[in-house]
Amino acid sequence: AVPSIKDPHTHGLKVLEALRRYISRGPVMAFCFGGEDAISVARRVTGYTDPAQAEPGTVRGDLGVDSIEKSTQEGRAVENLVHASGSPEEAQAELALWL
């Protein structure tokens, strides 16, 4: 189970630090899906955030070996292989950051 968040600011900083450590371990590839319904298509292809619960046929379902439960117990970010924006606004901000 995911622990309750007593201090959202401190929790956010811990999450950011865990993500920084994860993505700093090796190469990162940034790319952009384009076209009609690109966000929903990208999210469908990547699969559920928790690789342990992702459907077969998705990136996380076929290639993921981690779980949110395990990563939480170990105090680290879940290694879910890929990120997909959840909204046009989020995509715009992330494209500006990465590309």
- The catalytic site residues sit at 83
Q: How far is Cα 3 from Cα 24, in angstroms, rounded to an integer?
A: 25
Q: Which of 24, 8, 26, 11 is nearest to 75 (CA)?
A: 11
The most distant pair of C-alpha atoms in the chain lies apart, rounded to whole Å, by: 41
Structure tokens at 43: 């999210």
Q: How far is Cα 52 from Cα 60, in angstroms, rounded to an integer?
A: 8
Q: Which amino acid is at 73?
A: Q
